[in-house]
Structure 1
Amino acid sequence: MFRRDPEVASLGITVRSVSPGSVDLEWIIDHRFLNSHGIQHGGFTFLLADTALAYCCASLGRSSVTRTAEIAFLSGVPAGARLIARAEVRAISGRTTICDVRVTGEDNALYAEFRGHAVTTATSSTQ
């Protein structure tokens, strides 16, 4: 899926690990992603978490799109931070997959908690 997602790669987001029902993404934040407060814009934090949700669903062979998602921003992300988004499946019911994503720093500082509900659009073993 990462190979078919050039915009994510162009931002510098990388895949650290993947296992069925779990994925870790990493992103080093630079000045391009900061808001007027000098911290990462919340939309970029959401983008990272939402990408982790999609890749987590794909790790199960479920091509999915986000139906709903909620994020709680807990702390501002400074420039230079190495973010880790760890997504884990919490439940699957029919075409719906629920994942929780924790966005932390490499020092385990918690920046955001995200819960996403994804709906499966197709199933394939070639994800």
Structure 2
Amino acid sequence: MKKTTEWLKENLVTIYDENPYIKLLDISIMHVEEGKVELCMPVLAGKHTNLYNIAHGGALASLADSAMGIACATTGKKVVTLEMNMNFIKGAATQAAIKAIGKVIHNGKNTMVAESEIVDSQNQLLAKTRGTFFVTGMFEENKE
């Protein structure tokens, strides 16, 4: 992978913090390195939960998609999701935060493949996801 600029690493948090959907779900970027990212999201009753009072699959899918997309972004590439496969392993009860670890497993010219794992506060696996992403361009300083 190409060396990610320090500018991009420093500004990914700002770029994603300004996204209304990321704000809606209370997703936060905890750690960024080239090809890998760690996000967290609370599971709040009535906001992130379904009628069984566990995390809604759509909230988990959004967290996983964001983790993979941001992991791709750490390489300097702008991407959109082409496809995503998600296996739900265990329900997530309400809690202060669950964690998604996204990492790039293929960094191609036109497409990228990434995966993510979502774990609960006891580090138990909740979901495993793999996605293919289409490269739409490159991040450039002062042009986002």
TM-score, L = length of structure 1: 0.93
* Larger RCO (CA under 8 A, 6+ residues apart): 1
Which one-letter code corresponds to 1:30 in the other structure?
L
Which one-letter code corresponds to 1:95 in the other structure?
N
Match of 1:50 in 2: 65
Q: Deviation above 2 Å: which 4+ runs of structure 1?
A: 124-127
C-alpha contact 1:81 1:105 (8 A) present in aligned 2: no
1:103 paired to 2:114? no
Residue of structure 2 aligned with 1:88, choices 103, 115, 121: 103
Which one-letter code corresponds to 2:86 in the other structure?
I
C-alpha contact 2:99 2:118 (8 A) present in aligned 1: yes
Where is the strand percentage greater, Structure 1 or Structure 2?
A: 1
1:19 paired to 2:33? yes
Who wins on radius of gyration, i.e. which is larger?
2
Match of 2:20 in 1: 6
Which one-letter code corresponds to 2:24 in the other structure?
S
Match of 2:5 in 1: none
Separation in structure 2 between the aligned mates of residue 50 and residue 83 of structure 1, nearest angstrom: 14
Query: Structure 1 stretches of 5 or more lacking a match?
Result: none
TM-score, L = length of structure 2: 0.83
Separation in structure 1 between the aligned mates of residue 24 and residue 108 of structure 2, nearest angstrom: 34
Could you list the per-position Cα deviations for residues 13-64 of structure 1 after superposition, in whole angstroms to 9, with x for gaps in the alignment? 1000000100000011101111111211101100000011111111111000
Q: How many residues align?
A: 127
Give the secondary structure class of the aligned counterpart of 1:33. Answer: coil
Separation in structure 1 between the aligned mates of residue 96 and residue 88 of structure 2, nearest angstrom: 15
CA RMSD after TM alignment: 1.4
